[in-house]
Amino acid sequence: MLTAQKLLWLPDGRTLLYLRPVATAPLAPGSPHNVWTAQLAAFDLATHKDTALTTGLVLNDELSSCP
């Protein structure tokens, strides 16, 4: 099952780039506000292989691709 916050088709037409929510973390030490911690991942439709590319706090969750 693919759980994603944002999806982007890559130009190759067979790979999805997406943000997978992991958990929440404090916005700053002692802050009552939380932000999502997410992994940037790729899903290959041909092989059904899911690969985590990075992990960290999501500050900008707009995915884009350059040809």
| pLDDT for residue 26 is more than 60 | yes
Query: Please, what sign has the CA dihedral across residues 54, 60, 61, 63?
Result: negative
Q: What is the Cα–Cα distance from 19 to 9, expressed in whole angstroms?
A: 12
pLDDT at position 48: 93
| pLDDT for residue 64 is more than 80 | no
pLDDT at position 10: 86
Q: Under 8 Å CB-to-CB from 60, ≥6 apart: which residues?
A: none
Query: Cβ distance 25 to 57 under 8 Å?
Result: yes
| pLDDT for residue 65 is more than 60 | no
